Amino acid sequence: MASDALTDYDFWKNYWLSKEGLIFPIPNQYTFTKELAELIESKKINGILDVIPSYHTLTIIYDITLFLSPTQNVNDQLQLFSTQLLSEYENNALTINKNEETIHQVPVCYENIFALDMENISKTNQISCQAIIQLHTSKQYDVYSIGFLPGFTYMGSVDEKIKIARHPKPRNEVAAGSVGIAGLQTGIYPTNSPGGWQIIGKTPWKIFDPDPNKLAKFKVGDQVQFYAIGKEEFDSLNEHI
């Protein structure tokens, strides 16, 4: 059943059907959600309003009046749709280009002024702040999902040694650009907002721009690697103005 490991697929044994949406279970391979979403998008199916990939699910929001026929059983239609889609995916799986991943090198200032919870993680996990920064910057993270807030980027997995639970009570305001840890996930706050993740630094990058030609900086399936910068470099790169 459910656990906080990032690759727990048993939980979604049965896909969930609802009035408004359809959730797929996915095979044990995280880029599946992204590729399946792309497959659906490419088919330009009438009545599909949103295709939302997340860690282990892909949710489709549809307009039933366009997406489904009124004369056939709803469950049968959804079953057929998902079966056909999955088999199409499996048939094409080898030809889908997996080399299109984008790797972002993202600057983060881990200095005290931004790293509100660094001391706390250091104490709780018995690890030096230097080691936390070293571990956090040593891996390439997968972008699993964008959501919660416009552009909020969910990534994983961080090293077990810097795993830390969310704050039991969220802060009233976390600054835009703040980089945090929640369990094995790491994420970036796109805008000032309430939030419960443990903050270890801040990126000078603006990761969400309401300009319709820009919007979210990252997409599901991208790779992110953080690198440490000092306060001076942060100031020179700062886009949060």
By CB under 8 A, name the binding residues for other proteins: 1-4, 6, 8, 11-12, 14, 16-21, 23, 37, 49-57, 59, 61, 64-65, 68, 70, 73-75, 145-152, 154, 183, 190, 208, 210, 212, 215-216, 219-220
Residue with Cβ nearer other proteins (64 or 113): 64
Least distance in Å: CB of 194 to other proteins? 11
Residue with Cβ nearer other proteins (48 or 131): 48
Q: Are strands 198-202 and 178-182 parallel, antiparallel or unpaired?
A: antiparallel
Least distance in Å: CB of 49 to other proteins? 4
Residue with Cβ nearer other proteins (81 or 137): 81
Q: Which CB contacts under 8 angstroms, 24+ apart, belong to 233-239? A: 233/107, 233/109, 234/107, 234/109, 234/111, 234/114, 234/202, 234/204, 235/204, 237/107, 237/204, 237/205, 238/204, 239/204, 239/205, 239/206
Distance of CA 9 to the CA centre of its chain: 16
Residue with Cβ nearer other proteins (2 or 103): 2
Least distance in Å: CB of 117 to other proteins? 19
Task: Give the separation between CA 175 and CA 190, rounded to whole angstroms.
Answer: 8
The neighbour count for residue 18, using CB atoms within 10 Å, is 9
Residue with Cβ nearer other proteins (122 or 185): 185
Least distance in Å: CB of 71 to other proteins? 11
Least distance in Å: CB of 86 to other proteins? 18
Task: Give the separation between CA 102 and CA 120, rounded to whole angstroms.
Answer: 33
